[in-house]
């Protein structure tokens, strides 16, 4: 006969956002860098913004659940912006530059939401972008 209680409730399985813990100062800084490093995508015409979050994710995925979650969120957002910017470039090329302001849309989204995310993780809270293809779970 086993010593386990059949009426004992199993431990809850909750998503990372609902876990009660306080990230360290280093965790918050790395999460901040993961979100802000996407701004390199603005400088690189939207094509290299995913590199910063990817590097941080690969470095910290086994050691810090907070940094892992935020780097994944930032990486997913960068991939989403890349997928948005490709059709924008094609539309501008097809229209012979008439739709040139369309190129600014992914860049503006990156700057606005990147800063909002950085401000949120600076305080140690979890940030989720309002629209995001969550390819990495």
Q: 105: which 2 tokens?
A: 């849309």
Q: Model confidence over 70-114: pLDDT tens digits?
A: 999 999 998 888 888 888 888 888 888 788 888 888 888 888 998
pTM equals 0.76
Coil vs helix vs strand at 137: coil
The H-or-E segment that residue 117 falls in is helix 104-122
Q: What does the angle CA 98 – CA 99 – CA 100 come to, to the nearest 5 degrees?
A: 95
**E-strand stretches of the chain:** none
């Amino acid at each position: 006969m086993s010593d386990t209680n059949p009426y004992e409730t199993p431990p809850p399985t909750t998503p990372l956002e609902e876990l009660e813990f306080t990230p360290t100062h280093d965790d918050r800084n790395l999460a901040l860098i993961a979100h802000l490093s996407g701004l390199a995508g603005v400088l690189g015409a939207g094509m290299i913004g995913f590199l910063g979050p990817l590097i941080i994710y690969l470095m910290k995925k086994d050691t810090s659940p907070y940094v892992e979650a935020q780097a994944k969120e930032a990486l997913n957002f960068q991939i989403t912006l890349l997928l948005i910017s490709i059709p924008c470039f094609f539309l501008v090329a097809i229209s012979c530059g008439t739709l040139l302001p369309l190129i600014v849309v992914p860049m503006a989204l990156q700057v606005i939401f990147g800063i909002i995310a950085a401000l949120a993780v600076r305080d140690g809270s979890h940030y989720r972008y309002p629209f995001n293809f969550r390819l990495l779970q």
